[in-house]
Amino acid sequence: MGKYLMVGAGLSGAVIGRHLAEAGHDVTVVDSRAHIGGNCYTERDADTGVLVHVYGPHIFHTDDAEVWDYVNAYETFLPYKNRVKATTGGAVYSLPVNLHTINQFFGRTMRPDEARDFIVDEQADTSITDPQTFEEQAMRFVGKDLYEAFFKGYTMKQWGCHPSELPASILKRLPVRFNYDDNYFFHQFQGMPENGYTTMIQAILDHANITVHLNTVFDRSQAEDYDHVFYSGPLDGYFDFELGRLGYRTLDFERFTCEGDYQGCAVMNYGEVDVPYTRITEHKHFAPWEDHEGSICYREFSRAAGPDDIPYYPIRQVAEKALLGDYVALAEEADGVSFVGRLGTYRYLDMDVTIREALDTARSFLSHVQDGTRAPAFFVAPL
């Protein structure tokens, strides 16, 4: 049987490792951090008992029935709907922009068809026929007033540049609903792990053929001891940044506590650019089935990632895509390694997509082992 190394104890490494272990292979998982779970890591606050999403909230949502069944096999997922609020212009609104938001913002009592006509005829910039930037996309579909209230300032803080410099693809879907549905996501399956993501990932890693080493920094020389390496760290980091660094945004968290209920919801966005943080998250609301007297909150601040920061969001603008292409070429020449996950493929991935790709990667890899063919550097193309 094969001997395989997973670099990273997050979702990618855990899911691929488990699949290979169940096929009878020997799997070693290493992670530079002191814990498993990557950015999905959750832990109980010792003082309040609140389950804290240490690296920011992770809400599970998917239309992939197999992925939903997969996570529920390792942890009980309880119903949870993400209902985001936004503070802007001295008032609180519901997001995504929906019929209630529109009526409240404009001081109207429109029905769905009236609101749709109002947005199309009186708000949207219909002169924009082929939106190329985030700003054009928002102006085309919701108009200047809603764009400036809910999208412009938040986006400037999140990405560190004007929305006119960002591609339209960042704002993928029509950012308005003409009903009173305030569920932030639209997927069939939505929920939260009852005991947190750490418990789920621990269960995935709990197999006789899997060995986990934490506080262990990967070095390429370690690959010599294994038949193949699955690397879920930063793509440029694998090559010691020899071509330069790919751009990321990182997050700083200002944690504070309070008694009772601080804001009455899990997520409160702040759309105005003069408010330095993008949002406040109150973590006990991510587990509404629990009851806690105290509360743990995070103010989130976004900035450019430095060499020692945790990379969160790949920038993927023109310069980054060019550099990415160079690293992809370098990776495809490397032997015995496949790059997986959010950092390994330099893409922003939701958890369900990460798990889907990990399952598909493990299955495809085993077919290469059976056929005796070379496994690719990328099972999912980064470009």
Tokens of 274: 């003069």
CA atoms within 13 Å, Cβ hemisphere of 139: 16
Q: Which amino acid is at 383?
A: L
Residues carrying an active site annotation: 173, 177, 249, 279, 300, 348, 350
* Pairing status of strand 189-193 against strand 60-62: antiparallel
CA pair distance 39, 354, nearest whole angstrom:
13
CA pair distance 122, 29, nearest whole angstrom:
57
Phi and psi at residue 91, in whole multiples of 5°? -140, 165
Q: What residues pair up with 88 in beta bridges, in sequence order?
A: 91
Mark out the alpha helices in the chain (DSSP H runs).
11-22, 65-74, 99-106, 112-118, 134-141, 144-146, 153-159, 197-205, 235-238, 318-333, 341-344, 351-371
> Is 319 in a helix, a strand, or coil?
helix
Q: What residues pair up with 301 in beta bridges, in sequence order?
A: 252
Question: CA Rg, the chain, in Å?
Answer: 22
> Would you say 13 and 7 are in contact if contact means Cβ atoms under 8 Å apart?
yes
With residue 54 as reference, give the H or E element that holds it. none
Tokens of 37: 């779970």
